[in-house]
Amino acid sequence: MISYSEHFSDADFPVGIPHPLLVSALESARVAYQKPIVVTSGGRTPEHNTEVGGVEKSTHLMDATGTFKGCDIKCEDDGERFVLLGILMQRFKRIGVYKKHFHVDVADDMDHPLWKVWVGED
């Protein structure tokens, strides 16, 4: 097993390598939340990204070193969403809010501007 932090390992990210900034922000959120944070989607190949309907320049896509900057975490409950969103807002500068998950990433480039919260369909 490859451990990325106290609470996250390659069991959470079976494909590719999560960017260190993604891991540190997630770990910090996990500690604040005091409950498991379930990663539902991490690194993707271009084929897998197309298959799951990911956007063209998705932050789930791996770079040449196999590193990716975005992941999805499970959240289906209105009350939990309120708590978790508050925690994520303090640690991520890009957050997607969906009915059954949050998307968080640490990308910062022309295609992925900072200080964005967007709402999407699952």
Tell which phi-psi region holds residue 53, choosing left (phi > 0), alpha (psi between -120 and 50) or beta. Answer: left
At closest approach, how far in Å is the CB of 58 from Zn ion?
A: 7
The yes or no reply on residue 94 touching Zn ion (CB under 5 A) is no
The yes or no reply on residue 103 touching Zn ion (CB under 5 A) is yes
Per DSSP, which regions of 12-100 are E strands?
Answer: 17-18, 39-41, 67-68, 70-74, 94-97
Q: Residue type at 71?
A: C
The yes or no reply on residue 101 touching Zn ion (CB under 5 A) is no
Which of 16-24, 32-40, 78-86, 96-104 is the region at the interface with Zn ion (rule: CB under 5 A)?
Answer: 96-104
Q: Which is nearer to Zn ion, 34 or 84 (CB)?
A: 84
At closest approach, how far in Å is the CB of 26 from Zn ion?
A: 13
Residues whose CB falls within 8 Å of the CB of residue 87, separated by 6 or more in sequence, listed in order:
29, 32, 33
Footprint of Zn ion on residues 56-85 (CB under 5 A)? 72
The two structure tokens encoding residue 116: 């964005």
- Which residues would be at the binding site for Zn ion (CB under 5 A)? 72, 103
